[in-house]
A and B are shown apart, each in its own frame.
Chain A
Amino acid sequence: MRDQKLWTWHLAAGAIILFLLGLHMAIMHLDALLGIFNPAGGHPIDWANVVARGQSMAFTMNYILLLGAALFHGLYGLRNILFELDPAPPLKKALSWVLILVGVGLFIFGTWAAWVGHQVASIT
């Protein structure tokens, strides 16, 4: 794909990360201040709260979207850095493929893990 499109997606993924990571920080690390999304009360990493988040479809989708955005953003950024070192064109092509395979592989693995977590939490 052309860099105009890829870079636009890179920027959009940055904005998604900013929002979702912000949400994650607010829930997990600023809970003393905000006290949101912890239905069982107490600490955000209490088992009951972990299960409650796992049962929620919104949280599961949030994790998958954050994973996709972070993987695309990080790997495209890495590709940019590597390409600036001026590798030969065949090496550029090979690098792109390796990064695509790593990204897709990690995305499938992470999505599977999030989904199984959701299923297990739902029957707990």
Chain B
Amino acid sequence: MSNGNLPEQIVFRIRRFAPGRDKEPVWKEYPIAYEVGMTVLDGLWKVKETIDPTLAWRASCRMGVCGSCGMLINGKAGLGCNTQIAELGTAVVTVAPLANFPIVRDLVPDLRPLFDAHTALSPYIIRADTAEQEEPTREYYQSAEQMEAYLQFSYCIKCACCMAACPTCATDPVYSGPVALAQAHRYNTDTRDDGFEVRKEVLADEVGPWRCHFAGECSRVCPKGVDPAKAIQLMKRQLVADALGLRKKPPLAQPVEKPEGIERRPGIPEAPPPTV
């Protein structure tokens, strides 16, 4: 089978580091046989299985869903599992851990700064009718347009690629970063949510969107098309309007009554019972 422009043998150039054992990270090279359809993650497995079993990285779903395998591939942040080696087009593939995070080992970054910032911004629906939320009796109504306002931002898998690409995250540990900010905006624009004031308590300070200069690197590398840079600019607009007393609070989505007196069309199966 043809390998496209790639030779039979390619080289994985990997940054290795074991804190406590190594003084500083070192680059090591591993030649492996290229196979058509090979992803960067497949290549790492090949290195681990055939050359060095001590190589460490984080991955789970191998299909761009779990957000575990973010890494710097040829210098650009991306998911190992959804990056084809053929797409890179280089016979030497360099792999390093995501920038702007401490390293646990080899290609495993410590993502705690991301999750701490994310948690601090209450990334969940906040509203007063907690009883209805805990034991829902009805559904909250939301129109298709209302859902579209946040849908794109809800595709985030917390892979941290954007944080590794963000020039502000590179120098400023106080800045919450694109993941947490985009998620805060995702909930702030959800018509079922009433938590704007709660999140504003955090966002109004230094950790908020104020140090984002719209370089857009986060959106360029995002493997899920989330466009966190857009979310952050929309968030700034909302917070500026709020500071000027011009923010219009959209009406909060209310639980809708089950329609009465309507015949169910024949042949439509019942929804399965709730499992949780």
Contacts and interface: CB of A to CB of B under 8 A. Distances in A.
A7 B208 CA distance: 11
Contacts of B175: 84
A84 B211 contact: yes
A80 B244 CA distance: 21
A4 B200 contact: yes
B210 A7 contact: yes
A80 B203 CA distance: 16
B185 to A, nearest CB: 14
A109 B200 CA distance: 38
Given A7-B210, A8-B244, A80-B210, A2 B172 contact: no
A84 B208 CA distance: 13
B205 interface: yes
B206 A5 contact: no
Contact residues on A (Cβ < 8 Å of other chain), bracket: 10 to 19
In this complex, the interface size class of chain B, counting residues with CB under 8 Å from chain A, is: 20 to 34
B171 A3 contact: no
A85 to B, nearest CB: 6
B131 interface: no
Interface string A62-104: 0000000000000000001001111000000000000000000
A72 B274 CA distance: 57
A4 B208 contact: yes
Contacts of A86: 171-174
A62 to B, nearest CB: 23
B240 A7 contact: yes
Interface string B149-177: 00000000000000000001001111100
Contact of B203 (A4, A5, A6, A85): A4
A9 B32 CA distance: 57
Interface in B192-246: 200, 203-206, 208, 210-211, 236, 239-240, 242-244
Nearest to B239: A4
Interface string A5-37: 111100100000000000000000000000000
A80 B208 CA distance: 12
A78 to B, nearest CB: 13
Contacts of B173: 86
User: 4 nearest interchain CB pairs?
Assistant: A4-B204, A8-B243, A3-B210, A84-B172
28 contacts: A2-B205, A3-B204, A3-B205, A3-B208, A3-B210, A4-B203, A4-B204, A4-B210, A4-B239, A4-B242, A4-B243, A5-B204, A7-B236, A7-B239, A7-B240, A8-B240, A8-B243, A11-B240, A80-B210, A83-B206, A83-B211, A84-B168, A84-B175, A84-B211, A85-B172, A86-B171, A86-B173, A86-B174
